Structure 1
């Protein structure tokens, strides 16, 4: 593997794939994690930057949003950082070896004696075929495939492409970067003998959750693509009879939530548990935490509760955060899970119980419908005189504690973590919501509901609201909002199923 020397860093030319961040190679993710600087452009999904959290991120341009850097500017920026001894990643959409101008960057690196590594990526032609249900080769229809640029180097006196040979090509043609030049390359093919009624599939933003596909004839491509504002880049054109297989093989655009934009508002460290299955169903997921989670202001009460565990008869966890903060603190203080050997353990919900299993603990008590009220009713008849510790957040309902106290229990509530409002929403999220570009907002607690109301106000009425529980729904209703989907039982899985049911 290439290594840096005393004078230079190293440059990684990484294929970012077609758009879906899950299609990055393992090697690409590994090298991003080592990087000090990452240069990326509009064809590279910015979500990939999470693999390089400590690196400096430099955007070298995005169509329609900011100036596109010239190639010489990009090369100069790479060299500056590499020659300062840094590890530089250049994220390139698709594969670095396919219409990506990688040779120019490699030449510059060699001349500067800077070591480099090229990491393959999934090129757009192959991804577009797979995500649109089009096999670019087929035993009956096409035994070969040709990749063609629709945007040759400016200044050429004549095209380097043999249009007559391409018109006779016995297989599938795939055109990259052909939006603004559609009239030229389609007419070149037709003039060279390609039938005007040859089927074509135009795939925009392949593998993204807003992927779009147009099927048309070769002589109708220009009408579908130009002006560029009609069907904006990036677009791949697949030409040939294989495109007609899309009707039976298209899977991506048939997913249950394809085309839906869903805002997940859970705390940052918990968001992926909801976001990931939504993406699997085809949704375009945006993240805007409404609540932030952190350690308590004072560990003293938690430490005292840990010291008194032998006297505790029932230890109740109200959330998965409570499990983690309390038990991690206990392990830091005591160093042995066996310290938790006296009390019965109760969990309000299934996810809380699953989190206990991460610490090799099983919940002895759990209500059927995963609510604090139900747990209170379940425990109340037999708790008189018992010592009970409730591990909870810094805010939330006191119903569980008051019900058990009324039943004669000696109850201690312990704040194991802080639950605070996020003070401000990301401007892009606020803009998308105000413009009606978000189909669903998930609301997973009353505190979340209240802060979303503060952050967005009436703009929340431009979207549908999915609530995790009747208590959350009641809070939303009291704030003047309509509930469009409610989980039953009160789990993330059920919340997703409620959104799916409404979307049918």
Structure 2
């Protein structure tokens, strides 16, 4: 039967991933568990973007942050500040920045803050007097990167551009989808995606926890194991390529 996967990313990302999987003859079914709600522009946001040239590096943590951040950039800067370095935590977000012409850099061996901190180009960008970093992200994201940078004497500011929420579905939607389409794998792209998966599953989580769960990083893998997931596969990245590599490495369970 092969892999039959449930995709849980925001709807646009589900569509793109489903198309890539279909090209490789992998069946998928989309049930977005993260909806992106842009935040209204505030005077604080405006102040940060107007002072963009104060930062030696800008880190963008997701594709929604990239899209919304570039909209602000367009609004207030005829062209980006000269000499500023842009970074992302993954290739998909970096591609959005590159398409804009920012020549972003990102780690090639992982899609998380830990991999970014190990990137030599990122260390080089911080090798200036009084380094300041701006992190573009969603509301209430991880603090790990900022904490590590502040521990190294780097000033860090946030530009929060959106919030993530769980779309509304009727009770039982998740289990019904898995059973009716004979799905044998679940794909999540973040810790919040895992939390929303559990919330939507409700009492059915104990049953669904036996399915293979594909996650993007060791951190989320540990979170999933603590939540009771029995078969966790760390894809070492959130990209379609990372997922496909994991699918090739781990054969689908027998029907």
**TM-score between the two structures when normalised by the length of structure 2:** 0.85
Pairing 1:459–2:184 present? no
Bigger share in helix? 2
Tell me: CA distance 1:293–1:472, structure 2 relative to 1, closer, same or farther (3 Å).
same
Q: How far has the Cα of 1:462 moved from its partner?
A: 4.5
Which consecutive unaligned segments of at least 5 residues does structure 2 have? none
In 2, the alpha carbon distance for the partners of 1:432 and 1:482 equals 20
Q: Find runs of 4+ consecutive structure 1 residues off by over 6 angstroms.
A: none
Task: Please tell me whether Structure 1 or Structure 2 has the larger radius of gyration of its CA atoms.
Answer: 1
Q: How does 1:27-176 map to 2 (within 5 A)?
A: none
In 2, the alpha carbon distance for the partners of 1:436 and 1:275 equals 15
Q: Is the 8 A contact 2:211 2:230 kept in 1?
A: no
1:341 maps to what in 2? Answer: 82
1:288 maps to what in 2? Answer: 31
Match of 1:391, SS? strand
Q: How far has the Cα of 1:284 moved from its partner?
A: 2.7
Which consecutive unaligned segments of at least 5 residues does structure 1 have? 1-257
1:392 maps to what in 2? Answer: 137
Q: How far has the Cα of 1:428 moved from its partner?
A: 5.0
Find 1:355's aligned residue among 96, 103, 107.
96
Q: How far has the Cα of 1:487 moved from its partner?
A: 1.1
1:245 maps to what in 2? Answer: none
Match of 1:418, SS? strand
Tell me: CA distance 1:269–1:425, structure 2 relative to 1, closer, same or farther (3 Å).
farther
Pairing 1:406–2:154 present? no
In 2, the alpha carbon distance for the partners of 1:290 and 1:347 equals 23
Q: How far has the Cα of 1:390 moved from its partner?
A: 0.7
Q: How does 1:254-293 map to 2 (within 5 A)?
A: 259-293=2-36
Pairing 1:329–2:69 present? no
Q: Tell me the number of residue pairs that the alignment of Structure 1 and Structure 2 aligns.
A: 244
Match of 2:209, SS? helix
Match of 2:106, SS? coil
Q: How far has the Cα of 1:335 moved from its partner?
A: 6.1
Find 1:306's aligned residue among 31, 49, 64.
49
| Bigger relative contact order, structure 1 or 2 (CA pairs below 8 A, ≥6 apart) | 2
Q: Is the 8 A contact 2:215 2:238 kept in 1?
A: no
In 2, the alpha carbon distance for the partners of 1:497 and 1:399 equals 27
Match of 1:503, SS? coil
Q: Is the 8 A contact 1:445 1:468 kept in 2?
A: yes
Pairing 1:374–2:108 present? no
Q: Is the 8 A contact 1:306 1:330 kept in 2?
A: yes
Q: Is the 8 A contact 1:318 1:348 kept in 2?
A: yes
Residues 210-265 of structure 1: CA deviation (Å, up to 9, x unaligned): xxxxxxxxxxxxxxxxxxxxxxxxxxxxxxxxxxxxxxxxxxxxxxxx65321100
Find 2:59's aligned residue among 312, 316, 336.
316
Q: Is the 8 A contact 1:388 1:410 kept in 2?
A: yes
Q: How far has the Cα of 1:426 moved from its partner?
A: 7.7
CA RMSD of aligned residues (A): 2.4
In 1, the alpha carbon distance for the partners of 2:171 and 2:68 equals 28
Match of 1:494, SS? helix
Find 1:418's aligned residue among 163, 176, 197.
163
Q: How far has the Cα of 1:383 moved from its partner?
A: 6.3
Tell me: CA distance 1:355–1:259, structure 2 relative to 1, closer, same or farther (3 Å).
same
2:195 maps to what in 1? Answer: 450
In 2, the alpha carbon distance for the partners of 1:453 and 1:321 equals 23
Q: Is the 8 A contact 1:473 1:483 kept in 2?
A: no
Tell me: CA distance 1:395–1:386, structure 2 relative to 1, closer, same or farther (3 Å).
same
Match of 2:86, SS? strand
Q: Is the 8 A contact 2:34 2:164 kept in 1?
A: yes
**TM-score between the two structures when normalised by the length of structure 1:** 0.45
Pairing 1:491–2:229 present? no
Q: How far has the Cα of 1:292 moved from its partner?
A: 0.7
Tell me: CA distance 1:462–1:327, structure 2 relative to 1, closer, same or farther (3 Å).
same
In 1, the alpha carbon distance for the partners of 2:150 and 2:251 equals 44
Tell me: CA distance 1:499–1:300, structure 2 relative to 1, closer, same or farther (3 Å).
farther
In 2, the alpha carbon distance for the partners of 1:384 and 1:481 equals 46
